[in-house]
Each structure stands twice: as C-alpha cells, then as structure tokens.
Amino acid sequence: MENKKKGVLLDQEIPMILPIIPTIDVVVFPHMVVPLLILDEKIIKGLEQQQDETRKVLLLAAHQPSDNQSGPISITDLYKIGTVANIMRIMNLPDGGVKVLIQGLVKAQVDEILSDDESLHARVTPINLTDDTFNEKHVEVQIKQLLTLVEKIAASGKIFGPDFQVILSQIQDPERIADFILSHMNLTVEQAQQLLEKRTIHQLLDGIYDYLQHEMELSNVQEKIRSETRDSINKSQREYYLREQIKAIQKELGDEDENEFNEFRRKISDLQLPEEARIEAGKQLKRLEKTSPDSMEATVLRNHLEWLLGMPWGVYTKDNTSINDAKKLLDAHHFGLDEIKERILDFLSVRALKADSDVPILCFAGPAGVGKTSLGKSIADCLGRNYFRIALGGVYDESEIRGHRRTYVGALPGRFIQAVRKSGSMNPVIIIDEIDKIGMSNRGDPSAALLEVLDPEQNHSFYDNYLGVHFDLSKCLFVATANDLSTIQGPLRDRMEIIQLSGYTSDEKLSIAKNHLVTRAMKKTGLEKHSFALADNTLEDLITNYTRESGVRDLERQIQKLCSKFARYYVENKTETIFTKENLPEFLGPRRNASELTHRMNKIGVTNGLAWTPFGGEVLQVEAVLIPGSGRLILTGQLGEVMKESAQAAMSYAKAHAIAFGIDQKIFTDYDLHIHLPAGAIPKDGPSAGITLLSSVLSAMTGRAINADFAMTGELSLHGTVLPIGGLKEKILAAKQNGLKNVIVPRRNANDLIGLDRLQEGLNIILVEEAEEVLNHVLMPH
C-alpha cells in the first residue's frame, strides 16, 4: 500500500464506481483504521457485494443536522468529498447489522451519486495531493514548523498522548505525518471535513498548523483564567483572615468605628433630611455597620453616606432684594454694559416680588472675555447668594450630569449635586459656563440631562444616580454663558433668555482698564501701596498693539504682566519704574500690529470682507486671480457650501454684466478664476461674503485694483441686490480695530445701527442697496 500515495497507480486500482458508507460523527482520513457499525440494509448489501470484488468503499461524512436532532440522513446530507477505504474485515452481528473494520486509502471527489431502491453508489475521482504545485522544499519547512508546534503542545500534555511523539518521529512521509496528526486531533465533523477537502499537501499542512495553533492559544487562555481564579480565591481568603484579625485588634483598642457610626447617626437625626433621604441614609448606615470596615464595599458605602449627609439639606441663604444695592454692585464690578445691567435689574426685581416665580434662565452670549462669567458672579453677589461655576466645556458623558452609578469606588455624583454641596446652600447661583460646548457621545446625551435640570417642572425632584434619592434643585438660580448660540440645541435654547453681549470698542476697553483692570491687577500682585500707574496712551498702546480681541481678557493679562515686571524691577533695583510707550517693548516684547498694514494696500482681486465668528468680528480678505484655463471656477480655503454658492452667484453676475464692465468674453472661456480665502482658522460659511466675493471677481476680471480703505459685508442676490446680514456690530468693530475707515453695509441693516453712535465715531458707514454701488466705491480706475 506504500505506493498508493504516489497517486499514479491509484486510478487503476480504484474502481470508478464504489458503494457509499455514510459516516455520521466521524470523518475518516487516509491511513486511519476505523471500526464502523452498519445497520442499513441497502448499505450492507453494497458492502457484501464489494467483499467479493475489490473490497473498496467510499466513506462520506454527513453534515451535522442543524437542529441537532438525529433522524435518518439523506443523500443530500452527505459531503461531496470523502475517503476511499479498504474493507479489512466484516463481521455479521446476531441482530442483523454488520461491523466492519476499514482503513482509509485516498481522498476522492464524488462526481455523481447513483442511488436506487437496491443500492447506494458513487462515481468518484481520487484526489492527488501532490500535484504541480508540489514543492519539496516548502513541504520540508512546513513539516518542520508543524513538528515544532506539535512538540510544544505535547510538552504541555494536552491533545496528544505520551507515545504520540515517539511514533511520529518514525514517520517520514509528509502525507502520512499529516494523516497521523489528524487522526489524533479532536476535530468536529465540520473541522475535519474542511481539512479533508484541502486539495494540496501544502494547504493541508497549513490547515493543520492553523488549527493546532488556535487550540494552543485557546488552552493557554483557559489555563490563565484558571490560575487567576485560583489566585483570587487565595487572595480573598487571605484578606478575609487579615480583616478578621484587624477587627479583633480594633475591638481590643477601643471602637474607632463606633465613633464614625455615631457621627453618621447624629447627622441623620439632626439634619433636615427629607423622608426619602433619611430612610436611605439609615439603610446605608446599617449596611456599613455590617460590612468589614476595610473592604471595598465599606469605602463605597462610606463615601456615599458622606455625600448624602454632606448636602446642605434645608440650608437657605436669605436673598438681598434691594435693587439699589444691586445696581451699585453691578456698577462697581463692570464698566458700561448699561443695557445688560438694566436687564439684570429687571430680572432681580421680578425675583424680589415673587421668589419662586417662573423666571427664565439667563444666558449671557457673546465673544470671549467680555464679562459673561463675571456678570454671573455679580448676580450672585447682588442677591447675596453662594455661587458655584460649572464648566461644561467638553462634557460628553451623561453621567457627568446625572451622576455615576454607585457601583465602583471612584463614582461621584453629577456636577449639579457637586455644585450644590460645594456651595453650601440649597439656593446658590450656579453658573453653567460654556453651555454651548457641551457635547454628545456614545455615553448618552448630556444636554438631554441638562434640560431636565433646568426644567422647573422637573428639577424640584432631580434624581442623581449616585445620590440615589431625589433632590430639590428648583431653588438654585441658573445662569448660563455661551460663545456660540448656534451650537446649542433648540429645546435647551428655548428654555433660556438670551442676553447678547458684544465686543468692546477701544474706548470702552480703555475705560474698563482704567476703572477696573489696573486696580484689580495691582491688588492681585500686592502693589496697592506702590505708585504703579499706566497713562492713557500706554493703555491705548496695549489695547491696539499688544492685544487683538473682542473682550478684555488679554488686556487684563498684559496689565498683570506689567504689574509683575514692576514688582521685579522694584525688588531688583529698590526703585519704582514708569511704563511709557517708549519702554513698553522692553517689557512686553515687540508690538504685534503688522497685520493691519496688509489690509491697506490696493491690489487687484483682493477685497476686505467682514466676518462674524463666535469669538468676535474678523477682517477676512478674499483673493481672486485669473489663470489660463478653460472657464472653471476654482475655490480654495475651506469654504462652506453657502460660500461656494455665493461665489457662483458672483461669477454669474460678472458674466451678465460683462459688457458694462468692459470684460472680454475670452476671460470666461480661456481662463480659470481662482478664489481663495486665507486665514485657515476662521470658519468660512454663510452668505454675508457675497459682495466681497463679487468685488474680488470683478477686480480680477477688469484688472482694476480694489480700494483697500474699504471693508464690506452683504449678501448678494443674483440680480445684484444687496441683502441684509447678521452680526453687524461685531463686524463694524472689527473694521474699526483694523483701522479700516470706510465700511459698506446693506441698507436693509440700517435699523441695526441705531444706538451704535459711539461705535460709528470716526467711521464712514456707507449704506448700499445695489451691487453696482459697491463696485463704484471700491473698484479703482485703471
């Protein structure tokens, strides 16, 4: 039989038509010797015929029935690749069945199944494992790898028995090695069949290797888990004994724990706890008393009790309802902001009349550093209430609001419960800072939880997961702040009364600095007794050349920096110094006003636009240039969809008015127009760049430069009408700060200018209705 594997002789020796023996839970591989019990008459008949002839049969495994129920198997359940086997012995059993001992010879593919009432046969073609792809070197390497792996597995005592390797080491032939290993593996029918169906020796060896590798990894993991559980059992037993010992020692030493328990007990009876909280606290305390004091669980229980009993139950501060005092206080803290202060005083008056009236939540919105957070604090001061600030920037997790579940040691209540505890009263002012920066993630939607907190219908019994009892948040006064209202979800926004703050003009900044920032900075740096002072023109220098912002945060920082420079100078030289425009660069470095100049050069295709951003207004230059091409419009600079449409509208306007502007038609066919908006950090979308884009486009096409003394904002309709825009105050402020004297504004925005007289001082505001007017102003003659 040794020569069979060479494959050449097989075809002659194996008849093309063989009786089938289905095997139910075993796949027989070549070289395997297996006893089979056969009861089916039809099959026994086939066998008996064959006994007298070539003694060969085909073994075909049956699919495992999918519902795991054994029933009669049918022809369709049989796999189409099986093993031709030799009948070694047949033994008739007394009750009619037969027992056969067979040996696998070679794999074979079923070409056709021939079945009638009498018999079950198949026409087969043997499969030769060593075909053209056979590579002796490759097989050698594979065998070597396989043997190494087998050795490893055998060493760990799994899968293979003790004699296995001894026998294996005596086999040379790769196919026999494979079959020998296979016959010792614990394969399911599917796995075995998969390996049986491998067409080449290379694939077969790979398949075996992968399977063994997988098995080994599996058993490693199992072993690891087993040893870990063993360890942890040992450890917890040890801990238990130690804990018992500690308990005994503590008993000897006097009762530390008793003190703690008494303290909790005292609090439970003394505090003005609502019934629910009292019951919960009592329950938790009982559990704590029963728990071993050093266990994890005791820590969790203790922390929870500390939170529960640490809340300012029943503690209320009395409101100061004097509007006069409030007015004084607001004026003392903040310069200007008259309109805003009025709104705050109205708000406080309503509350003074009816403390639990359903006043909306105030939300201060505006650019950075204009005093939103500090106004919130002032409201707390006016009312004489405690104050706590919650920063919501980057809160993505719902449990930051609703609290973590109490199951682990580091769990904490949500931010609002924390705020109330830290503020020390049930009715603090809670500043919800940066409410627009709250995020959403897969860990729930914190803004939905926030809505619940802010809803007067629900917040009198807010349930925090950690605290585990309902808590009354309705006496808190919430004040929110935001930079960008557009990112706040609708329902949340509806719940708030928005108070819009704008940036400050240079004059306002000067007054704020003189009246507030300088004194505050001196206090902070301990310079009250010194003659630190900044002259107006020094402050102006700081404002225009060292800061570039809508608010005064940077300015405040620069002033503080000067205070520390002053202090250092004094400590080093024992005399005081005076800051002047001349020596400022010595202390603060060179002035940073270079960008202003770039707005001032008349260029072809470059227009000063005005943009609104959550951080204030910006001057944004639009550039357009013609390049040889084929009439395409190229847009770069990370523009949004609306901006792209505006560019197209500008292009169409230029085409429609080509003759009036003397534009050569060739420009639309032989050139591409490239429009670019530099300043990568500014979000660029919205329609308000319409007339700016148009100016750049026409400038590029006519070759006439744009007057750089102008800045503009306005949406453009296809027919050349200039439509109104938003954020006018911020935009005008930006133009002013950048030294641009002429500002083109849609006439339909005229109403927005009312009350902005101070802002308009020194500016030439030009109201326009038609695109033509814009171009008349900014397109310079050739």
Ligand X SMILES: Nc1ncnc2c1ncn2[C@@H]1O[C@H](COP(=O)(O)OP(=O)(O)OP(=O)(O)O)[C@@H](O)[C@H]1O
- Report the alpha-carbon distance of residue 428 to residue 476 in Å, rounded: 5
Stretch that binds Mg ion, among 103-111, 276-284, 373-381, 580-588 (CB under 5 A): 373-381
- In the complex with ligand X, the residue whose CB is nearer, 202 or 334, is 334
Residue 186 tokens read as 């614990």
Minimum CB separation of residue 576 from ligand X in Å reads 25
Minimum CB separation of residue 753 from ligand X in Å reads 22
Which residue minimizes CB distance to ligand X?
Answer: 371
Stretch that binds Mg ion, among 31-39, 151-159, 174-182, 370-378 (CB under 5 A): 370-378
Are 558 and 539 in contact by the 8 Å Cβ rule? The answer is no
**H or E segment at 477?**
strand 477-482
Residue 170 tokens read as 């005596």
Are 168 and 181 in contact by the 8 Å Cβ rule? The answer is yes
> Rounded to whole angstroms, what are the CA distances from 284 to 261, 301, 409?
11, 7, 15
Residue 22's binding partner out of Mg ion, ligand X, none, with CB under 5 to 8 Å set by partner kind: none
Minimum CB separation of residue 308 from ligand X in Å reads 33
Stretch that binds Mg ion, among 26-34, 365-373, 572-580, 663-671 (CB under 5 A): 365-373
Size, binding site for Mg ion by CB under 5 A = 1
Minimum CB separation of residue 516 from ligand X in Å reads 4
Residue 617's binding partner out of ligand X, Mg ion, none, with CB under 5 to 8 Å set by partner kind: none
- In the complex with ligand X, the residue whose CB is nearer, 19 or 336, is 336
Residue 483's binding partner out of ligand X, Mg ion, none, with CB under 5 to 8 Å set by partner kind: ligand X
Backbone dihedral region for residue 172 (phi beyond 0: left; psi -120 to 50: alpha; all else: beta): alpha
Residue 549's binding partner out of ligand X, Mg ion, none, with CB under 5 to 8 Å set by partner kind: none
- Report the alpha-carbon distance of residue 557 to residue 562 in Å, rounded: 9
Adjacent-strand bridge partners of 58: 20, 84
Residue 556's binding partner out of ligand X, Mg ion, none, with CB under 5 to 8 Å set by partner kind: ligand X
- In the complex with ligand X, the residue whose CB is nearer, 613 or 742, is 613
- In the complex with ligand X, the residue whose CB is nearer, 334 or 385, is 334
Minimum CB separation of residue 519 from Mg ion in Å reads 21
- In the complex with ligand X, the residue whose CB is nearer, 556 or 618, is 556
> Is residue 374 part of the contact set for Mg ion (CB under 5 A)?
no
CA 68 to chain centre: 45
- In the complex with Mg ion, the residue whose CB is nearer, 372 or 729, is 372
- In the complex with Mg ion, the residue whose CB is nearer, 203 or 373, is 373
> Is residue 373 part of the contact set for Mg ion (CB under 5 A)?
yes
SS3 104: strand
Which of 471, 454, 475, 460 has its CA nearest to residue 355?
A: 475
Which residue minimizes CB distance to Mg ion?
Answer: 373
Residue 371's binding partner out of Mg ion, ligand X, none, with CB under 5 to 8 Å set by partner kind: ligand X
Stretch that binds Mg ion, among 8-16, 324-332, 367-375, 611-619 (CB under 5 A): 367-375
Are 468 and 407 in contact by the 8 Å Cβ rule? The answer is no
Q: Is 731 part of the annotated catalytic residue set?
A: yes
Catalytic hit among 447, 688, 696, 699: 688
> Is residue 130 part of the contact set for Mg ion (CB under 5 A)?
no
Are 706 and 699 in contact by the 8 Å Cβ rule? The answer is yes
Catalytic hit among 4, 5, 341, 731: 731
* Packing angle, helices 189-196 and 201-253, rounded to 10: 150
- In the complex with Mg ion, the residue whose CB is nearer, 243 or 377, is 377
Residue 512's binding partner out of Mg ion, ligand X, none, with CB under 5 to 8 Å set by partner kind: ligand X
Minimum CB separation of residue 278 from Mg ion in Å reads 39
Which of 486, 472, 473, 503 has its CA nearest to residue 361?
A: 473
Residue 336's binding partner out of Mg ion, ligand X, none, with CB under 5 to 8 Å set by partner kind: ligand X
- In the complex with ligand X, the residue whose CB is nearer, 392 or 417, is 392
- Report the alpha-carbon distance of residue 683 to residue 663 in Å, rounded: 32
**Binding-site string for Mg ion from residue 155 to residue 194, where x marks contact by CB under 5 A and - marks none:** ----------------------------------------
Minimum CB separation of residue 550 from ligand X in Å reads 9
- In the complex with ligand X, the residue whose CB is nearer, 418 or 550, is 550
CA 466 to chain centre: 24
Contacting residues toward ligand X, per CB under 6 A: 334-337, 368-374, 481, 483, 512, 516, 551-553, 556
- Enumerate residues 6+ apart whose C-beta is below 8 A from 559: 513, 517, 518, 521, 534, 542
- In the complex with ligand X, the residue whose CB is nearer, 98 or 756, is 756
- Report the alpha-carbon distance of residue 298 to residue 290 in Å, rounded: 9
SS3 91: strand
Minimum CB separation of residue 566 from Mg ion in Å reads 27
Provide DSSP, 181-212.
HHHTS---HHHHHHHHT--SHHHHHHHHHHHH
Minimum CB separation of residue 391 from Mg ion in Å reads 9
**H or E segment at 342?**
helix 338-353
Minimum CB separation of residue 737 from ligand X in Å reads 16
Residue 288's binding partner out of ligand X, Mg ion, none, with CB under 5 to 8 Å set by partner kind: none
- Enumerate residues 6+ apart whose C-beta is below 8 A from 203: none
> b/e for 715-727, b at 16 or more Cβ within 10 A?
bbeeebbbbbbeb
Q: Where are the beta strands (DSSP E) in 526-615?
A: 603-604, 606-613
- Report the alpha-carbon distance of residue 234 to residue 432 in Å, rounded: 50
Residue 337's binding partner out of ligand X, Mg ion, none, with CB under 5 to 8 Å set by partner kind: ligand X
- Sequence-ordered alpha helix ranges (H) in 254-337: 256-270, 275-290, 296-310, 323-333
Minimum CB separation of residue 504 from ligand X in Å reads 7
Backbone dihedral region for residue 7 (phi beyond 0: left; psi -120 to 50: alpha; all else: beta): left
- Report the alpha-carbon distance of residue 401 to residue 636 in Å, rounded: 41
Are 388 and 419 in contact by the 8 Å Cβ rule? The answer is yes
Q: Where are the beta strands (DSSP E) in 93-140?
A: 98-115, 120-126
User: Can you give the binding site for Mg ion, defined by CB under 5 A?
Assistant: 373
The catalytic residues are 688, 731
